[in-house]
Amino acid sequence: MGEVIDSILGLILGAILMYWVYSFFGKKKSKEITEQQSTVILNKIRSVCKLVSVEGDFAEIYHYENTKDSFMSLFKSKKKALIVIKAKAHIGYDLNKLELKADNDKRKIILSHFPQPEVLSIEPDLQFYDIKNGIFNSFSPTDLTKLNQEAKDHIKQKIPESGLMETARKEALQAVFVVEKIVETIGWKLDYSALEISNREKQFIEE
């Protein structure tokens, strides 16, 4: 009789031990998969990197003039040109500046900070008119490179008064929506409750 009881107790203890071992490795595997998912989704969001939300076209007339002294400042040589700048400016968000962290237990990504809009790129197209070279001062390839940069700087100064930044801020909800869709691709949820978004705006995102 005692041997039977010992056998039954042995089976019970063995079953408990097997269940414990299975549970331990099962939870560990599940945890590893969850952590891997969170790493994948965070990397996926960052891989989007820069998101253009607003595009603006500019057309400006730029007067360029340069005077150069020659022969110990005895002569002054002037070159000038009328330049029509047509440029396309892209305003958006650098998603590398998002502050994100993963809650593996609740399977959600917490978005605690969203960056301000910024100028992502300016693509100028310069057309030269009324070009006049001086005797000792003429346009060179270096001048064209310099003028291209000056054109970018000129357009960049015009952007704040164009209203593009304000429009981009209003489009920030669309950027949050893009991030949310990326998170949902692996069955997680985006928690953006830390952001200052009105109920009406939240409803817009949910729709």
What number is the average pLDDT over the span 187-194?
A: 86
CA distance 194 to 96: 18
Q: What is the pLDDT of residue 14?
A: 47
Helix (H, G, I), strand (E, B), or coil: what is residue 91?
strand
Give the single-character DSSP code of 162. Answer: H
86 neighbors 59 (Cβ within 8 angstroms) = yes
CA distance 182 to 179: 5
pLDDT tens track for 28-62: 444 455 556 666 666 666 655 677 778 999 998 88
pLDDT tens track for 64-88: 888 887 666 667 888 888 889 899 9
Q: What is the pLDDT of residue 22?
A: 45
What is the per-residue DSSP string for 19-80?
HHHHHHHHHHHHHHHHHHHHHHHHHHHHHH-EEEEEEEEEEEEEEEEEEEEETTTTEEEEEE
Indicate yes or no: pTM above 0.85. Answer: no
